């Protein structure tokens, strides 16, 4: 039996507003526990929520960026369940009238282009954080737990995809693309490792061609794009094995164990949740006019897909364009092009050496000591014949490690190419004279040996010769 994989992803994104969703407490990391709290976010008796208009606006921006419709009249609801780090024991969320509905996000995987439907984008509040004490894994067997409510009430957007995703790779690319959109909008720092962007996946298998969905498993606790893909691959294997053996999938929540490389069943609950949603009586409806929506739409920044298309139009190939956008290298690219460098050349450097450096260092583009002007200067030096491509890489390394601007580094490291024709001719002549046999074979048409001789010249000049010119001179000598 062939099984079709059906995946939907719920993404939570903490908004980086100044203040919390329903009160004026500051949003941020690293404060001492329970210092960014007030009666509202502590759920004290008598306290009332008042929504943060910026959070509402930002959620609509994301919805518009995902081509959603903004709901003209949306509502907040109470989602009721008890949990020790949720102050009111209900979460103010949205239910049947979310802020944004019915959009999509286009992604490109190794299998080609796919359009993933977005069911809804809504706004809610985050919970506090509990730390479990005692030994025995994630859940302390004794000793209890410590609760910090600084995070409670931070605005949280939830983006729900349609079950349109078919492979773990597609899931990863979707998540990556969504993150790029969030970053482009500047509404969140979207850090997976810090939990300001979190993914839960619903995954089910069904026999090929079936229209009904299979039994759904919710997978949680994936805190990187890589673990999202790995967890789903593992879950597909696990479910396929059960189904192939004639077994049944249990509807449950499973947690990804990064170290063990597998998903583990959560403790099964006695009964399914019953959240008893009802409209939040402490709040009034949100009404959004067409003018407001039009205004927000016109203020949207360039989105990753548009940026990618623009790069392609500038002559960058599609894979490189995606790497530039996905790696947040777009502004560096634009700066270098504005400084006069050719787009394909800029893309080549950014997706090659610069990306390799970022990966090695685990750094973010904004932290680089390379700016667009410097990259343009480097490229210009190569084109002018001042630097060989090998030397240019060394110069870039120098720039990235803070040694200075490209020309300074090249001079300091003595990497400027010999452009004195006479000196170059002498060096070539010396090599030609030392290799009569090879010159003979070149004359007989064995072109491959030219490269060998060029290498000898480069060695003799300490890498400072222009290999193209050396190659020409060798041909002229044969």
Span from 184-192, 278-286, 332-340, 461-469 in contact with other proteins (CB under 8 A): 278-286
Residue 180 beta carbon to other proteins: minimum distance, rounded to whole angstroms: 24
Per CB under 8 A, the list member of 102, 117, 195, 266 interacting with other proteins is 266
Q: Can residue 287 be called a binding residue for other proteins (CB under 8 A)?
A: yes
> Which tokens sit at 289?
């006019």
The dihedral over CA atoms of 432, 434, 438, 443, expressed in degrees to the nearest 10, equals 40
- Which region, judged by CB under 8 A, interacts with other proteins, from 103-111, 141-149, 427-435, 469-477? 141-149
**Residue 63: how many CB atoms within 10 A of its CB?**
28
Q: By CB under 8 A, tell whether 276 contacts other proteins.
A: yes
CA distance 237 to 233: 6
Candidates 226, 251, 278, 429; binder of other proteins (CB under 8 A) is 278
Among 82, 112, 208, 212, the residue binding other proteins under the rule CB under 8 A is 82
Quick one: how far is CA 326 from the chain centroid?
6
- The position carrying tokens 């030397």 is 391
Tell whether residue 72 is a contact of other proteins (CB under 8 A).
no
Q: How far is the CB of 366 from other proteins (least distance, A)?
A: 24
Binding mask 219-258 toward other proteins (x if CB under 8 A, else -) reads -x--------------------------------x-x---
Q: Closer to other proteins by CB, 12 or 413: give it.
A: 12
Q: Is the Cβ of residue 59 or residue 176 nearer to other proteins in the bound state? A: 59
Among 4, 106, 141, 306, binds other proteins (CB under 8 A): 141
Residues that contact other proteins, how many (by CB under 8 A): 77
> With CB under 8 A as the contact rule, which of the stretches 80-88, 103-111, 300-308, 470-478 interacts with other proteins?
80-88
Q: Does 87 bind other proteins (CB under 8 A)?
A: yes
Cβ–Cβ under 8 Å, residues 341 and 375 = yes
Which of residues 36 and 203 has its CB atom nearest to other proteins in the complex?
Answer: 36
Residues 10-69 interacting with other proteins (rule: CB under 8 A):
17-19, 23-26, 32-39, 42-56
User: Residue 206, SS3?
Assistant: strand
- The three-point CA angle 363-369-373 to 5° equals 125
Report the alpha-carbon distance of residue 215 to residue 233 in Å, rounded. 17
Q: Are 36 and 28 in contact (CB under 8 A)?
A: yes
Residue 303 DSSP one-character state: -
What's the min distance (Å) between Cβ of 210 and other proteins? 27
Residues in Cβ contact with 26 at an 8 Å cutoff, skipping those fewer than 6 apart: 18, 19, 20, 36
Place of tokens 């960014």: 36
Site string for other proteins, 322-361 (x = CB under 8 A): ----------------------------------------
Task: Give me the least distance between CB of 99 and other proteins, in Å please.
Answer: 13
**DSSP H helical segments within 279-341, as ranges?**
290-298, 304-313, 318-326, 330-338
Least separation, in Å, of the C-beta of 302 and other proteins? 24
Give the nearer residue to other proteins in terms of CB position, either 8 or 87: 87
Q: Which of residues 116-135 bind other proteins (CB under 8 A)?
A: 130-134
Say if CB 206 and CB 192 are below 8 A apart. no
145 near other proteins, judged by CB under 8 A: yes
Among positions 161-220, residues that touch other proteins (CB under 8 A) are 220
Residue 349's contacts (CB-CB under 8 Å, 6 or more residues apart) are: 375, 378, 379, 396
CB of 269 to other proteins, least distance (A): 7
Residue 388: CB atoms within 10 A of its CB come to: 22
In sequence order, the β-bridge partners of residue 7 are 165, 203
For the CB of residue 281, give the shortest distance to other proteins in the complex, in Å: 4
The residue among 12 and 441 lying less far from other proteins, judged by its C-beta, is 12
Q: Do the beta carbons of residue 305 and residue 311 sit within 8 Å? A: no
Q: Are 266 and 236 in contact (CB under 8 A)?
A: no
Choices 4-12, 170-178, 276-284, 345-353; region in contact with other proteins by CB under 8 A: 276-284
* 34: region left, alpha or beta (phi > 0 left; psi from -120 to 50 alpha): left
Torsion of CA 26, 29, 31, 35, to 10 degrees: 40
Give the residue, chosen from 124, 126, 148, 345, that forms a contact with other proteins under the rule CB under 8 A.
148
């Amino acid at each position: 039996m062939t099984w079709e994989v059906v995946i939907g992803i719920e993404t939570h994104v903490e908004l980086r507003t100044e203040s919390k969703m329903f009160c004026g407490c500051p949003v941020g990391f690293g404060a001492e526990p329970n210092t960014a709290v007030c009666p509202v976010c502590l759920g004290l008796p008598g306290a009332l929520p008042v929504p943060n208009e910026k959070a509402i606006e930002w959620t609509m921006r994301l919805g518009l960026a995902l081509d959603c419709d903004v709901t003209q009249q949306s509502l907040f609801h109470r989602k009721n369940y008890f949990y020790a780090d949720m102050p009111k024991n209900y979460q103010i969320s949205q239910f049947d009238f979310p802020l944004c509905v019915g959009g999509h996000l286009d992604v490109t995987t190794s299998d080609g282009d796919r359009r993933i439907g977005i069911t809804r984008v809504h706004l809610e509040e985050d919970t506090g954080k509990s730390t479990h004490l005692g030994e025995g894994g994630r859940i302390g067997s004794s000793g209890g737990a410590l609760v910090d409510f600084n995070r409670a009430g931070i605005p949280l957007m939830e983006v729900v995809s349609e079950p349109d995703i078919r492979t773990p790779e597609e899931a990863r690319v979707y998540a990556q693309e969504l993150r790029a959109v969030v970053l482009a909008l500047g509404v969140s720092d979207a850090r997976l490792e810090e939990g300001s962007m979190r993914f839960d996946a619903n995954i089910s298998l069904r026999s090929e061609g079936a229209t009904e969905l299979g039994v759904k498993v919710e997978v949680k606790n994936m805190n990187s794009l890589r673990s999202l893909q790995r967890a789903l691959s593992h879950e597909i294997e696990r479910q396929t094995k059960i189904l192939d053996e004639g077994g049944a999938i249990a509807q449950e929540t499973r947690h990804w164990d990064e170290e063990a490389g597998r998903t583990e069943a959560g403790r099964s609950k006695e009964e399914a949740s019953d959240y008893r949603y009802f409209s939040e009586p402490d709040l009034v409806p949100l009404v959004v006019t067409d003018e407001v929506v039009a205004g927000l739409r016109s203020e949207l920044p360039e989105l990753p897909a548009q940026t990618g298309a623009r790069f392609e139009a500038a002559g960058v190939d599609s894979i490189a364009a995606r790497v530039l956008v996905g790696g947040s290298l777009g502004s560096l690219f634009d700066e270098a092009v504005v400084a006069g460098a050719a787009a394909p050349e800029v893309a080549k450097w950014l997706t090659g050496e610069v990306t390799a450096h970022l990966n090695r260092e685990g750094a973010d583009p904004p932290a680089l000591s390379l700016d667009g002007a410097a990259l343009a200067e480097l490229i210009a030096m190569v084109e002018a014949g001042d630097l060989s491509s090998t030397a240019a890489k060394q110069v870039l390394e120098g720039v990235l490690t803070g040694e200075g601007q490209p020309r300074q580094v090249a001079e300091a490291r003595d990497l400027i190419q010999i452009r004195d024709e006479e000196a170059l001719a002498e060096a070539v002549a010396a090599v030609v004279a030392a290799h009569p046999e090879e010159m003979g074979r070149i004359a007989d048409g064995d072109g491959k040996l030219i490269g060998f001789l060029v290498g000898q010249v480069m060695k003799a000049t300490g890498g400072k010769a222009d290999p193209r010119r050396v190659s020409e001179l060798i041909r002229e000598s044969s």
